Amino acid sequence: MTNPVPVTIIGGFLGSGKTTLVNHLLRHANGVRLAVLVNDFGDLPIDADLIEGQDGDVINLSGGCVCCSYGDDLSLSLQTLQEQASLPDHIFIEASGVALPGAIGKSLSLLRAYRLEGIVVLADATTVQSMAAEKYVGDTIQRQLDDADLIVLNKLDLVCDEQAQSNRVWLDGCFPHTPYIDSVHSTVNADVFFDIKRKMTNCKPSAHSHTQDTLQVDHASSLFTSLSVSVDHMVDAKWLASQLADKRNMLVRAKGFVLDTDNQIKTIQVVGRRWSVTPAPIGVQAGLVCIAQAESLSEENIRSLCKPDAQQII
């Protein structure tokens, strides 16, 4: 049986920047074959030079990527997608502006070909607090953000420093367990979503490996750093994954392979506050790669979690 295809759900209220984020990810797929599912093609103005052709409800994109319109039947579209001869490497579902991404995530549990990797919800820095307090749509916005494993505080170029900080304080107070990252024009380091797989392939973690990732693209508002850690001893994989997903450690993404207490190599996946532990592919090398905003990463904290006696100390 093939491994389930990872799925990331992108949510957020109308105008928060979901479509812009999807286009950004398509631009920075770097060889990863993506499938993007949207309600309506009209809501996704894909750059013309990415489009190779259209066949019904499917737009064929460069690099082996596709964009599919699922209308009112997402489950049917996912079932149709899994019948294709070649499955994508990663799927992004752009939820409608009034949809609850958590409900979409629950529907994925019925389809064994897919695995929910994370729910990313965009928050418009210019309106999120006022709209969350609004009588008619406030509950929807609150529930969308509550579903998030990772919040992207977007459009920070349109607010003053005081309002930006007010938004951060509000997010900390209302969603204390959910990490968030800053963004302008929905520009987020693609490693947060899928490119970390390349890092695990190309990098051989050592006890002192620490690489700075300064992805520079138009309107980038944040620099990210990645920390590679060697884990050459047996650890409780589920405990370690849950700790890496704790907001106090400020990670937005982590992936790696560790020797679990059952003497089996396991894969650890972390996206925001969501984590999973699954059997690892044969022949992989133990080690972790963790990503955070540069000013937020505590190398000391992450390394301490990976020590042999960490669980007894904490």
Calculate mean pLDDT across residues 239-250: 92
Q: Which of 44-53, 59-68, 114-123 has the highest mean pLDDT?
A: 114-123
Structural domains in the chain, sorted by start:
5-182 (3.40.50.300), 190-313 (3.30.1220)
Strand arrangement of the beta sheet that strand 34-38 belongs to = 51-55, 58-61, 66-69, 34-38, 90-94, 5-12, 114-124, 150-154, 180-182
Amino acid 205: pLDDT:
40
Amino acid 76: pLDDT:
85
The length of the chain in residues reads 314
Amino acid 267: pLDDT:
93
Ordered DSSP codes for 230-270? ---SB--HHHHHHHHTSGGG--SEEEEEEE-TTS-EEEEEE
Amino acid 44: pLDDT:
54
126: nearest Cα among 181, 187, 184: 184
Contact partners, residue 299, CB within 8 Å, separation at least 6: 210, 227
Do 62 and 103 form a contact (C-beta atoms < 8 A)? no
pLDDT band at 202 (very low <50, low <70, confident <90, very high): very low
Q: How far is CA 68 from CA 40, 49, 80, 209, in A?
A: 9, 17, 10, 40
Do 256 and 226 form a contact (C-beta atoms < 8 A)? no
Cβ neighbours, 10 Å, residue 88:
19
**What residues are paired with 253 via a beta bridge?**
271, 291
With a cut of 50, say whether residue 217 has pLDDT above it.
Answer: no
With a cut of 90, say whether residue 141 has pLDDT above it.
Answer: yes
Amino acid 119: pLDDT:
95
For the stretch 125-138, pLDDT in tens is 999 999 999 999 99
For the stretch 247-259, pLDDT in tens is 888 898 999 999 9
With a cut of 50, say whether residue 194 has pLDDT above it.
Answer: yes
Amino acid 39: pLDDT:
74
Selected residue with higher pLDDT from 7 and 208: 7
With a cut of 70, say whether residue 43 has pLDDT above it.
Answer: no
